[in-house]
Amino acid sequence: MRRKELEFSADLDSFNINNGDFDCKQLNYEDLKTIKNLGCGAYGSVNLVKHTKSGKLFAVKRMTMALYKEGRDRSLMEIQVASDSRDCPFTVNFLGYLNLNGELWMFMESMDMSLNELKGNILNNTAEYFIPEEIIGNISFQITSGLYYLLNDLSILHRDVKPSNILIKNSGRVKICDFGISCKVKSDEFQSSYNVGTMSYMAPERLQSDSLSQKSDIWSLGITVLEFTTGKFPYRKWSNIFEALNDLCNQPTPALPPKKYSAEFNEYLNSTLNREADKRKDYINLLKMNFLVKNKEYKITEFLQIFIQTTQDGEDPNFL
């Protein structure tokens, strides 16, 4: 067991993780209380964990030795990107790791809710699903800015942009998470693995195994924003790639409901959702569009606090 724990350390100690006075390795297992489960995936579970002595909350991804070995490359990519992007206000921060009872615990900053969960709360608590355009514009600005940072500063494509990978604090901060299948723009993986990710949000060219670029993530961004705006996914539920390709190639390109939103919002969304990748705007030009520029300072806190539930036991997750 000790040899395998050292394998964790050999992998993870190579990262230059600088988080000021915070040091995960000073935490004791007895002082960590699991508040609730936040989700489960192929390579582990994510829990909200409280450090009882300080009151701090963390999102902790827990992986067994076997799962770590199986998903090693994805875990290392996730940690690498989260660590390298710690100066970006639009990506979730990696805080450190511990080897506890034969498991790898990866500590991330805690957030309140995913965009998908927020959509569900609005659906369940309003007679008619509607989100003010200014709210959508601010959230879209933060997501677009985060994706631009990943590409411009780190040469990273996310490859799995979707509502469940966009996290929100009730303070108004919106952050991108889950970098496990991200890739460097010029890496071998970038050249060969086009169809990893979530099929529902993949751009047409990814499903067809054509060229992969920032424009592929931009399509996923557009679908994410459209789904959050309308409260529903714009296509039927696909059971296989052939159904997806048929709809993407033969159905009208998704768009906002007519006459309900401004021309600026329509222009922004249409700039992300074009079947031809080279006709989609890039991040730089998206960030110059009026829809984002005029809403980037809009305060969304009051709206979010209506629908974002507080953490169990009355904990305040906004300690960071």
Task: Parse the chain into domains and list their residue ranges.
Answer: 22-109, 113-306
The whole-number pLDDT of residue 19 equals 47
In contact, 118 and 283? CB cutoff 8 Å: no
Burial of 192 (0-12, 13-18, 19+ CB in 10 A): exposed
Q: Return the DSSP state at 308.
A: P
Report the topology of domain 113-306.
Transferase(Phosphotransferase); domain 1 (1.10.510)
Look up tokens 């309308």; give the residue.
230
Instruction: Determine which one of 160, 247, 282, 313 is catalytic.
Output: 160
Instruction: Supply the pTM of this predicted model.
Output: 0.87
**Closest Cα to residue 218, out of 197, 198, 201, 235?**
201
61 assigned binding-site residue? yes
Q: Considering Cα of 131, then 133, then 135, then 138, what sign does the dihedral take? A: positive
Examine the residue annotation and report whether 153 is marked as an active-site residue of this protein: no
Q: Return the DSSP state at 201.
A: G
Start-to-end Cα distance in the chain: 34
Query: Which helix (H) or strand (E) element contains residue 36?
Result: strand 32-41
**Closest Cα to residue 97, out of 59, 71, 70?**
59
* Beta carbons within 10 angstroms of residue 187's beta carbon: 13
Look up tokens 């409260």; give the residue.
231
Q: What is the CATH number of domain 22-109?
A: 3.30.200.20
**Closest Cα to residue 13, out of 76, 92, 90?**
76
320 residues of the chain, pLDDT tens digit each:
344 444 445 555 555 544 445 677 677 778 889 999 988 766 678 999 998 888 889 999 887 767 666 677 777 788 888 888 888 999 998 888 777 777 778 888 999 999 999 999 999 999 999 999 999 999 999 999 999 999 999 999 999 999 999 999 999 999 999 888 888 887 544 444 556 788 899 999 888 876 678 999 999 999 999 999 999 999 988 988 889 888 888 889 999 999 999 999 999 999 999 999 999 999 999 999 999 999 999 999 999 999 986 444 444 444 33
22-109 against 113-306: fold identical: no
